[in-house]
Structure 1
Amino acid sequence: MGLHPPHRRAFGLIIGLLLLAFGAAAAETSDRVKVDTAFIELHTGPGAGYPIFHVVDRGDWVRIIERRTDWFRVETTDGKEGWVSKAQMEQTVQPNGEPTRFDDPSLEDFTGRNWEMGALYGVLDDVDLISLYGGYALMEKLTAELWVQQALGKFSSSYLVDFSLVHQAFPEWRVSPFVAIGGGIIHTETSATLVESSDSTDETLHAGIGVRGYLTRRFMLRAEYKEYVVLTTREENEEIEKWQLGVAFFF
């Protein structure tokens, strides 16, 4: 059972933003640097326990391919690829002669982030829920977020697209609470095996509370609770609850 077009577009937008985010992060370490010490050692893997198979001498250049914690995968001018520790990489220089420095993301970056992307798992009225979201900081304490979510039940499946405004009163805290309000749509598809099966698409309003917690580098933990009002075409609106927990990447 596939997503309907509005959900596919929103889902594709968030996936695209996630790819751009990781691409931008990778681009930060895609530079050529020159060895400015006697030599640097290439390991077969990202750790001191991996064997050294090659050394790069002073004056030679390497290209940084990727970073994994405090280890960098590099390529030499003759095509050899290996892993070099951060300590040794900081004994290289940039093409302009400046020493190479790697600024690790910190709590200050978490506080001053502009974008965040994440994936969460939870329950929507006792039904398993998977969520993806992207957010942009409109100002220090206010973030706009777009959500795409899928709830898979035994007799029906629901797809939600939400827009939220999130207010974070204490963005400088390592563990920071927030409140959220917003609206969206929910599309529900009932099982074809049911005698009276019918699909529906309704507008929603929601309000919620939650907490963000800085983990390490560019990652944070997020937990939240939201209560939805589904504006149905029936005589009474429907209320549903959502709990979820997940991890987000910020930049």
Structure 2
Amino acid sequence: MQFLKSVFLAMVCLLSSSVFAEQQPVVQVNAPFIDMHTGPSGDYPVFYVAEQGEWITVVMRQRGYFKVVTQDGTEGWVPEMTLNNTLDANGNPVKVTASGLTGFLEKFQ
């Protein structure tokens, strides 16, 4: 019985992690660079610069900023309009709208 519980919990964890990963869009920096701040405001210092061609995962939206994570795990915040300088996974320009990023970030309203 304990074995079945363990298998069930493992399956639930795997399924929920894959669903969670699908909800976090990945975009590619298309500008020469994007400044990443330590917090969701221009008052926070820039501590990292994501360079052109670098892939970042969009995690959440707060007060006009998006929290992003680079491929090496660096977490920071970028102004929402900065994401206009990125491409989606198909190479299409990302457009920030009032409701999120066109096509895939409406959940961050």
> TM class, shorter-chain normalised?
0.5 to 0.7
**Which residue of the other structure, out of 96, 101, 114, is the alignment partner of 2:95?**
101
**Which residue of the other structure, out of 57, 60, 64, is the alignment partner of 2:54?**
60
Tell me, in whole angstroms, the C-alpha distance in 2 between the residues paired with 1:99 and 1:90.
Answer: 7
Structure 2 length as normaliser, TM-score? 0.68
Would the alpha carbon gap of residues 28 and 78 (structure 1) be closer, same or farther in structure 2, given more than 3 Å must change? closer
**Which residue of the other structure, out of 64, 75, 79, is the alignment partner of 2:69?**
75
Deviating above 3 A after TM superposition, structure 1's stretches of 4 or more consecutive aligned residues are 26-29
Query: Which ranges in structure 1 are unaligned for 5 or more consecutive residues?
Result: 1-25, 106-250
Tell me, in whole angstroms, the C-alpha distance in 1 between the residues paired with 2:45 and 2:89.
Answer: 29
Contact 2:81/2:96 (<8 A) preserved: no
- Matched residue SS, 1:48: coil
- Residue 39 of structure 2 is matched in structure 1 by 45
Between the two proteins, the alignment pairs up a number of residues equal to 81
Letter in 2 for 1:49: D
Cα offset for 1:70? Answer: 1.4
**Deviations along 1:4-24, whole A, 9 cap, x unmatched?**
xxxxxxxxxxxxxxxxxxxxx
Cα offset for 1:103? Answer: 2.6
Would the alpha carbon gap of residues 92 and 74 (structure 1) be closer, same or farther in structure 2, given more than 3 Å must change? same
Tell me, in whole angstroms, the C-alpha distance in 2 between the residues paired with 1:29 and 1:36.
Answer: 22
Query: Which ranges in structure 2 are unaligned for 5 or more consecutive residues?
Result: 1-19, 100-108
Does residue 85 (structure 1) correspond to residue 79 (structure 2)? The answer is yes
Would the alpha carbon gap of residues 33 and 72 (structure 1) be closer, same or farther in structure 2, given more than 3 Å must change? same
Choose 1 or 2 for highest CA Rg: 1
Cα offset for 1:27? Answer: 8.6
Structure 1 length as normaliser, TM-score? 0.30
- Residue 23 of structure 1 is matched in structure 2 by none
Cα offset for 1:47? Answer: 0.5
The equivalences for 1:1-251 within 5 A come to 30-105=24-99
Tell me, in whole angstroms, the C-alpha distance in 2 between the residues paired with 1:42 and 1:28.
Answer: 23
Higher strand proportion, which one? 1
Q: Percent identity?
A: 37
Tell me, in whole angstroms, the C-alpha distance in 2 between the residues paired with 1:46 and 1:54.
Answer: 14
| Higher relative contact order (CA closer than 8 Å, sequence separation 6+) | 2
Cα offset for 1:30? Answer: 1.7
Tell me, in whole angstroms, the C-alpha distance in 2 between the residues paired with 1:70 and 1:28.
Answer: 23
Higher helix proportion, which one? 2
**Deviations along 1:109-145, whole A, 9 cap, x unmatched?**
xxxxxxxxxxxxxxxxxxxxxxxxxxxxxxxxxxxxx
- Matched residue SS, 1:66: strand
- Matched residue SS, 2:97: coil
Tell me, in whole angstroms, the C-alpha distance in 2 between the residues paired with 1:100 and 1:73.
Answer: 16
- Matched residue SS, 1:45: coil
Q: CA RMSD in A?
A: 2.2
